[in-house]
Structure 1
Amino acid sequence: VEGVDAALQRLQTDYVDLVFAHRPDIYTPIEETVRAFNHVINQGKALYWGTSEWSAAQIMEAYAVARREHLIPPQMEQPQYNMFHRERVEAEYAHLYDEIGLGTTIWSPLSSGLLTGKYNQGMPEGTRATLAGYEWLRSRFEDEEAVQRIAQVGELMNIADELGITVAQLALAWTLKNPHISTTITGASKPQQIIENMKALDVVAQLTDDVMEKIEKILGNKPPAPQSFR
Structure 2
Amino acid sequence: MEKTALGKTDLRIAPINLGGNVFGWTLNEQQSFGILDGFAGAGFNFIDTADTYSHWAEGNKGGESETIIGNWMQARGNRDRIVVATKVGSATSNLPKNVSKEHILKTAEESLKRLKTDYIDLYYTHFDDEVTPLEETLGAYQQLIEQGKVRYIAASNVSPARLTGSLELAEKEGLPIYKALQPHYNLVEREGYERDYAPVAEKYGLAVLPYWSLASGFLTGKYRSESDLGKSPRGQGVKQYLNDRGLAVLGALDQVASGHGSSPATVALAWLLHQPLIAAPIVSATSDTQLQTLIEAPGLKLTAEDLELLNQASA
**Superposition TM-score tier, normalisation by shorter sequence:** 0.7 to 0.9
1:123 aligns with 2:228: yes
Q: Equivalents in 1 of 2:184, 2:281: separation in Å? A: 10
Contact in 1 for aligned 2:142/2:176 (Cα 8 Å): yes
Q: Which residue number in structure 2 is paired with residue 180 of structure 1?
A: 277
Give deviations 1:6-56, integer Å, cap 9, x for gaps: 001000000011000111121211111111111111111111001112122
What TM-score do the two structures reach when normalised by structure 1? 0.84
What TM-score do the two structures reach when normalised by structure 2? 0.62
- Which residues of structure 1 form unaligned runs of 5+? 131-135, 222-230
Q: Which residue number in structure 2 is paired with residue 227 of structure 1?
A: none
Pick one of 100, 125, 128 that aligns with 2:204.
100
Q: Which residue number in structure 2 is paired with residue 18 of structure 1?
A: 122
Distance 1:126 1:210, change over 3 A: closer
Q: Equivalents in 2 of 1:17, 1:8: separation in Å? A: 11
Bigger drift between 39-48 and 190-199 goes to: 190-199
- Which residues of structure 2 form unaligned runs of 5+? 1-104
Q: Which residue number in structure 2 is paired with residue 208 of structure 1?
A: 303
1:70-149 aligned within 5 A: 70-120=174-224, 122-123=227-228, 126-129=231-234, 136-137=236-237, 140-141=238-239, 145-148=241-244, 149=246
Q: Equivalents in 2 of 1:51, 1:124: separation in Å? A: 31
Q: Equivalents in 2 of 1:44, 1:83: separation in Å? A: 38
Contact in 1 for aligned 2:122/2:151 (Cα 8 Å): yes
Contact in 1 for aligned 2:223/2:229 (Cα 8 Å): yes
Give deviations 1:100-130, integer Å, cap 9, x for gaps: 1111111111001000001125317541246
1:2 aligns with 2:106: yes
Q: Which residue number in structure 2 is paired with residue 133 of structure 1?
A: none
Alignment: residue pair count: 209
1:161 aligns with 2:265: no
Q: Equivalents in 2 of 1:112, 1:3: separation in Å? A: 27
Q: SS state of the match for residue 17, structure 1?
A: strand
Q: SS state of the match for residue 155, structure 2?
A: strand
Q: SS state of the match for residue 283, structure 2?
A: coil
1:53-68 aligned within 5 A: 53-68=157-172
Q: CA deviation at 1:210?
A: 1.5
Specify the code of the residue in structure 1 equivalent to 2:224.
Answer: N
Q: Report the aligned-residue RMSD.
A: 1.8
Q: CA deviation at 1:155?
A: 3.6
Q: CA deviation at 1:181?
A: 0.8
Distance 1:153 1:180, change over 3 A: same
Q: Which residue number in structure 2 is paired with residue 218 of structure 1?
A: 313
Q: SS state of the match for residue 112, structure 1?
A: helix
**% identical equivalent positions:** 32
Q: Equivalents in 2 of 1:146, 1:40: separation in Å? A: 44
Q: Equivalents in 1 of 2:263, 2:186: separation in Å? A: 16
Q: CA deviation at 1:147?
A: 2.8
Tell me which stretches of 4 or more aligned residues in structure 1 moved more than 6 Å.
none
Contact in 1 for aligned 2:126/2:157 (Cα 8 Å): yes
Q: Which residue number in structure 1 is paired with residue 4 of structure 2?
A: none
Q: SS state of the match for residue 123, structure 2?
A: strand
